Structure 1
Amino acid sequence: MITVPGGHVTLSDRRTERTWSVELAPYELAAHPVTQAAYAQTTGTDPGSGQGSGLLPVHDLSWWDAVRYCNTLSRQEGLTPAYRLPHATGTTDNGDGQEDGVTWDREADGYRLPTEAEWEHACRAGTAGPRYGPLDDIAWHRGNSREHIHEVGGRLPNSWGLYDMLGNVWEWCWDVYDPEVYGSYRVLRGGGWFDEHWSCRASVRRRSHPTLRIDDVGLRLARTPRP
């Protein structure tokens, strides 16, 4: 885990042409996405079907899989789980097409998903452009991936030591994308191995239903430091 300095980040959404600013306290973020080996060691399962090396990022994960993984790893390491799951399956429909909510204990020291503001702030690492470096140097994308996933850490990190913030796999964030239009859909960030170059930018937002599992989606761990 890398300590990310606090700061100010401005987010934007092309669909709605909306911008908003967020002030962030320091937090911790994993240097790379969770690997298949790490996920299998913690959960005993491998949703990525064991493709190749254990250093591949775990993928085919739903948002619910991701928050359960955070809690499971927290318990194994003696940390307080960040999430309270109201149902064992975590997918109970409340009648209007949305799942019953997960609550986030913001005082917990366990692992969690980054907020999308935390994700973008960490991705930019103090830069102001669409990317923190030349795309082919920092990311696996459709133009150089040969249309398959790659081991984590294979491209250059940003200046804060974070690898694969762009490309390889999209990463789940905590946030709901747009509840008035998309209900419980959650935010994805970062672009993936099958995405064109324009999707691999620090500001790009994608959305997906929290129960869906997609072959270019994984997760990266965050933590709130102890006071």
Structure 2
Amino acid sequence: MIEIPSGEIVMRDEGAKSSWKVEVEAFRLAPYPVTHELYGSVLGEASATSAGPRTPVTEVSWKEAVRFCNLLSQATGLEPCYSMGVDPDARDVVCDGDADGYRLPSEAEWEYACRAGTSGVRYGELDEIAWYRENSGGEVHDVATRTPNAWGLYDMIGNVWEWCWDLYDPGVYGPYRVFRGGGAHDRPRGCRASCRRKSHPAFRIDDLGFRLARSR
């Protein structure tokens, strides 16, 4: 896990033409998304796809990502962060911010870590840092094969989108959760540090995965 220092980030919603400042406490973030190898080893099952062990796991819903975080925490002797409910919309999932286990990053944590102190559209040249539509060949690639950002984080842009903890806009979209970062099938516009997308917490697709965070 990479130690991410405390700081602040100005978030923007391009659709609503709004922005807001968020204070981010120090936390830890995995250097790359969860791979098929890690996901299968924790669940005790082989991958159902032909994707290599070092490719990011995809076709994982937000609810499944949260459940995985708890399972990995238990397997490594850490306190699980999430209390899981029975609501199909996952509105009853609660995160314990004091637990030392694995969790999804908040949206603010994700963007703050992605930018790594930069303020541009991306933290580097797109062809160097990301697998996206123009260079991916239409498929997800092994993690950590592009240039990392200044804090040593790989694939924050491109390869796969990544689930975050946050609700997107509950007043408009109900239980929809945020995902960030762009994927292997996206054009450059989708591969920006500020690009936000959302879907139902049961949604799965072939270029959406997740990355692990810890509060301490």
Q: Note whether the superposition's TM-score is higher than 0.5.
A: yes
Match of 1:219 among 201, 210, 213: 210
Q: CA deviation at 1:86?
A: 1.9
Q: CA RMSD in A?
A: 1.0
**Partner of residue 41, structure 1:** 41
Contact 1:177/1:187, CA 8 A, preserved across alignment: yes
Aligned partners of 2:79 and 2:100 also within 8 Å:
yes
Deviates more, 1:66-75 or 1:11-20: 11-20
Following TM superposition, the consecutive aligned residue runs of length 4 or more in structure 1 with deviations greater than 6 angstroms are none
Contact 1:36 1:50 in 2 (8 A): no
Q: How does 1:62-77 map to 2 (within 5 A)?
A: 62-77=61-76
CA contact (8 A) 2:22 2:108 kept: yes
Q: Are 2:105 and 1:114 aligned?
A: yes
Letter of the aligned partner of 1:85 in structure 2?
A: M
Question: Are the structure 2 counterparts of residues 45 and 18 from structure 1 closer, same or farther at C-alpha, using a change threshold of 3 Å?
Answer: farther
Residues 162, 210 of structure 2: 8 Å contact kept: yes
Opposite residue 101 of structure 1, the aligned amino acid is D
Q: Which residue of 1 aligns with 2:144?
A: 153
State how many pairs are aligned.
216
Tell me the residue number matched to 2:31.
31
Residues 68-125 of structure 1: CA deviation (Å, up to 9, x unaligned): 00000000001000000023xxxx34xxxx4442001000000000000000000000
- 3-state DSSP of counterpart to 1:64: helix
Separation in 1, partners of 2:48, 2:206? 10
- Where 1:74 maps in the other structure, the secondary structure is helix
Task: Tell me whether 1:144 sits opposite 2:144 in the alignment.
Answer: no
Matched, 1:190 2:181: yes
Letter in 2 for 1:77: T
- The offset of 1:45, in angstroms, is 3.6
Q: 1:181 to 1:68 in 2, by over 3 A?
A: same
Corresponding residue number in structure 2 for 1:103 = 94
- SS of 1:163's equivalent in the other structure is coil
Cα distance per residue 1:183-202 (max 9 Å; x no partner): 00000000000000011000
Matches within 5 A, 1:167-206: 167-206=158-197
Task: Indicate the residue corresponding to 2:154 in structure 1.
Answer: 163
TM-score computed with the length of structure 1 as normaliser: 0.93
TM-score, length-normalised on structure 2?
0.97
Query: Partners of 2:51 and 2:180 in 1: how far apart?
Result: 24
Which moves more between the two structures, 100-109 or 134-143? 100-109
**Cα drift, residue 22 of structure 1:** 0.4
Q: What is the aligned-residue identity percentage?
A: 53
Name structure 2 gaps, 5 residues minimum: none
Could you report, residue by residue, the CA deviation over 1:15-70 in whole angstroms, capped at 9, with x for unpaired residues? 11110110011000000000000000001245x63323100000000000000000
Please list every run of 5 or more consecutive structure 1 residues that lacks an aligned counterpart in the other structure.
none
1:150-169 Cα shifts (integer Å, max 9, x gaps): 00001000010000000000
- Which deviates further from its counterpart, 207-216 or 37-46? 37-46
Please tell me the residue identity of whatever aligns with 1:62.
Answer: S
